[in-house]
Amino acid sequence: MEYSAIVIQQYYGFKVSLPGMDPFKIASIVKDKITRRRGGTEELRYYRFRGGKWYGGIATGDVVGCNLRCKFCWSWRYSYYTNKGFFCRPEEAFNRMLNIAEKRGYRYVRLSGGEPTIAKDHLLDLLKLFSETKYTFILETNGLLLGRDMRYARDLANYHNIVVRISFKGTTPLEFEYLTGASREFYEYQFRALINLLEAGFKPGEEFYAAAMLSFSPKENVEKFLRKLASIHPVLAEDIDIEYVILYPHVVQLLRKNKLKPLIAYRPNGIPDFMI
């Protein structure tokens, strides 16, 4: 896949050079801007709380900020930025998600929007609060920080009601670099996240699984990718959650800006059941 460098995007909240950025450095810069300490507690920037049809019904807190700059990101108007939204203490986020889940009779809650693992202390506080409820907490993450730090995976394993969804961005290191702006060498950390979760005691296919954005991946790359997942654990290749781009107007805007054309994508009124 050929591409040329895209340099410095002003509206990303701060200056980054793409491709080839270091997502761990970005995570640290973003963390400084989207979190703050008050009375020893880590507060995090959210931009909304909502219910929705995903996972058969789930209460969601959408967070600001991410350590990648995916060219297809559905939440780029918030994940690319660090100064939007409003700070919430873990208790406030908990109450708002709990209210939505109770009112609508959901079984699941989650953080989404940006990358929730950047705010580790906030996330662990929230998990602790939900561990005393009947709700299953789905942690949606690109997995890079879990791949870098085995202790993070072990800390998550302290909570019985968590399911971790590692969302792969592309099926090869080159696709990853092209799609996310991060250097290809960091792709491996997404697999490392799966290994760390497995070693921390999470059950594959039940308590953690892989998702993958396949809108831009040729078949042969997907096959290679599945073989790699199977080499970690066979269940991971069987229980993969496939993602395709949904053509919301703001996503189409981003794709056009990036001159990126998905091989497969769906309109918002035609999302197949397997993606919901």
Q: Which residues would be at the binding site for ligand SF4 (CB under 6 A)? A: 66, 68-70, 73, 75, 79, 114-115, 142, 169
Between 9 and 95, CB nearer to ligand SF4: 9
Provide, rounded to whole angstroms, the least separation between the CB of residue 144 and ligand SF4.
9
DSSP notation for 30-94: HHHHHEEEETTEEEEEEEEEEEESGGGSEEEEEEP--S---TT-TTHHHHT-SS-SEEE-HHHHH
Of 222, 233, 246, 147, nearest in space to 187 by CA: 147
Q: Smallest gap, in angstroms, from Cβ of residue 169 to ligand SF4?
A: 6
Residues 6+ apart with CB under 8 A from 204: 194, 198, 232, 233, 235, 236, 239
Q: Nearest distance from residue 259's CB to ligand SF4, in Å?
A: 18
User: Of 113 and 204, which has the nearer Cβ to ligand SF4?
Assistant: 113
70 or 194: CB nearest ligand SF4: 70
CA dihedral 93, 95, 100, 104 (to 10 degrees): 140
Q: How far is the CB of 103 from ligand SF4 (least distance, A)?
A: 27
Q: Under a CB-based contact definition with an 8 Å cutoff, are residues 92 and 42 in contact?
A: no
Residues 6 or more apart in contact with residue 225 via CB below 8 angstroms:
168, 171, 172, 212, 217
Four-point Cα dihedral 221, 209, 228, 201, nearest 10: 170
Continuous segment of H or E residues that includes residue 29:
helix 23-34
Nearer to ligand SF4 among residue 68 and residue 210 (C-beta): 68
**Residue 105's beta-bridge partner residues?**
none
166 close to 211: Cβ distance less than 8 angstroms: yes
- DSSP-derived letter for residue 270 is G
- Shortest separation between residue 160's beta carbon and ligand SF4, angstroms: 26
- Smaller CB distance to ligand SF4: residue 45 or 169? 169
Q: In one letter, which amino acid is 230?
A: A
Q: How far is the CB of 62 from ligand SF4 (least distance, A)?
A: 10
- Please, what is the minimum distance in Å from the beta carbon of residue 73 to ligand SF4? 3
Q: Which lies closer to ligand SF4 via its Cβ, residue 75 or residue 196?
A: 75
Pairing relation of β-strands 86-88 and 108-113?
unpaired
Of 35 and 79, nearer to ligand SF4 (C-beta) is 79
